[in-house]
Amino acid sequence: MTGSAREFVVEADGGSRGNPGPAGYGAVVLDAATGETLVEAAEYLGVVTNNVAEYRGLLAGLRAAGELDPDATVHVRMDSKLVVEQMSGRWKIKHPDMKPLAAEAARVFPPGRVTYEWIPRADNKHADRLANEAMDAGARGEQWSPSTSTAELDARAADRAAPAGRTAGSRRSEDRTTAAPATAGEAPDVAAAGGDAPPTGDHLPRTTTRTGAGSAVSGGAAAGGASRGGRGEGDGGEAAVSGGGAIAGERVLRAARTGAGSAVSGAAETPAAADVRAAKAVASPGWGPPDMGSPATFVLLRHGETPLTPQKRFSGSGGSDPSLSPVGREQAERVAESLARRGTIEAIVASPLARTRETAGIVAARLGLAVTVEEGLRETDFGAWEGLTFGEVRDRHPADLDAWLASPDAEPTGGGESFAATATRVAATRDKLVAAYAGRTVLLVSHVTPIKTFLRLALGAPPESLFRMELSAASLSAVAYYADGGASVRLFNETSHLR
C-alpha cells in the first residue's frame, strides 16, 4: 500500500418489499477524514430477498471505493448483522445466492484492507434512503437516477431532528474487525429462498460522484419514505406487522426503534406494538444476542376439533383425514377474529390434511391472505393405530406401544412414522420456512406432534418432553428465529380466544 492511499468509509444497505419482493440497494462512499460524501450508488434489483439486496449494496459500495482509489483502506458500516458477521468471518455462509456475492465482495480489496462494523439502522439513514429511492423508482418502472436523489439531504434532516445520541455523528467506532475468509464460523445465514438469481459480475450500479458535500439535487422528498415491508430490521425487535399496513405497521416499528414507548400517534398501545415491545425485551442484552434484526416468527396454530378429537383417538396423516366438526369450525372462526385484531400475520402456511386446510381457509378469509400448503407440516403417520384410542392401542399392541413410549426411534405398529423421523422432517421444514419468511410473521396451521416438535427443538428439550406438553385444539403457540440461529419461544398453548 502506498503512502498516499486514502481511507474511505462505506455505508451500505438493501431492502426488499416482500422478501423476496421488489428490492433495491443504496451505498455511500465517504472520506474517512472529512466525512464528505464522495460517491452515491443505488439500483433497483427486481425481485430478490433482503439479504441479497444487502450484499449487492455492499458490493456496489466496495466497487465504488475501489474505483476512487484501489490502494485505499475501507471501513464498512452496515445495519445488517448477518452481512457484517459473515464478511468478518465469524458466521458461515451457506445460502447459494449469497456465496458468490460474498466471494466477489471479498475480492474487491486485498485481505486486511477492509474492516466491518455493525451500526443501528437509525445510523444508516443515507444508504437506507438511497435503497428506498431505488425501490420507489422500480415501482414506477424506472431506474434510480442520481440527478433526482434527495437521500443525503433527507438523511441530514433526519439527523438534525433525531434525539441526542441517535444522530449519524454517534455511530459506533468500536469493535472494528478485519475481514476474514467468509466461510469460517458456524452460525447459519437466514436468506430467503427463491427468486434470487445472483447478478453477473459486470452488472454495475448507476452512481454519482460527488466533488463536494453540496452537490445539486432536485427539491422534494423521495416518494415512498422508508417503508420496506418485508424487512423491518429494528434494534433486535420483531417486525410483527401485517403486509397491508392495517395497523400502520411502519409507524409502530418507528415508535419502537426511537424509544417512543407504547403510544403510537397518541393512541393506546396496539397488540402489534406490544409484540414489538416484547420482542425487544426478549432480544435485549442479558436475554440473548442483541441487534439480530427482525426474526422469522412462527405463530403455530393447531387445527380446530374434528369428530375424533374429543374421543382422543389417534388421528395422523395415515388415517381417514377427517374434516372439522361444527365445534372445530367455530374455534377456527374465533381464532381468526383474534388474529385479525392483533394484525400481525403476514402469511399463512398449512399442512396438506383436510382439518388444517379448512382451519387455515377460515383464518385466511378473515385476514385476506392466501394459504400455502407445506407437506412438512403434516401430522405423524400413526400406522395401524389410526382411529384408535390409547386404551385400544394398549390392548391390541402393548409391546409396540411400550417401545414407542420408550424410544423416539420406535415406529407405531404397521410401519408408521417415528418421532425421530417426524423431528427430522419438522427441522427441515423449519429451516426452509425460516429462510422463506426471514423477518416476517407467518401463521403455520399444523397438528399436535409437529407443533410440539417445533417447540421442543426451539427449547433444546429431549424427545420425551413431547409427552409432557398439553396442546389444545385451536391453540396458539409462537417461536421466533433469529439470524444467528437462536430461537425464542414466545407463546405456548394460548386458548383465551376460545373463551
Q: Which active-site residues does the annotation give?
A: 303, 379
Cell readout for 131 is: 435503497
Report d(CA 441, CA 278) in Å as an integer.
14
Q: What is the largest CA-CA distance in the chain?
A: 86
Q: Are 26 and 55 in contact (CB under 8 A)?
A: no
Q: Are 313 and 483 in contact (CB under 8 A)?
A: no
- List C-alpha distances in Å: 97 to 27, 37, 100, 441: 20, 30, 7, 23
- List C-alpha distances in Å: 249 to 139, 372, 425, 478, 498: 20, 23, 34, 20, 26
R_g over Cα of the chain: 25
The residue to which cell 374465533 is assigned = 334
Strand-pair partners of 30: 9, 37
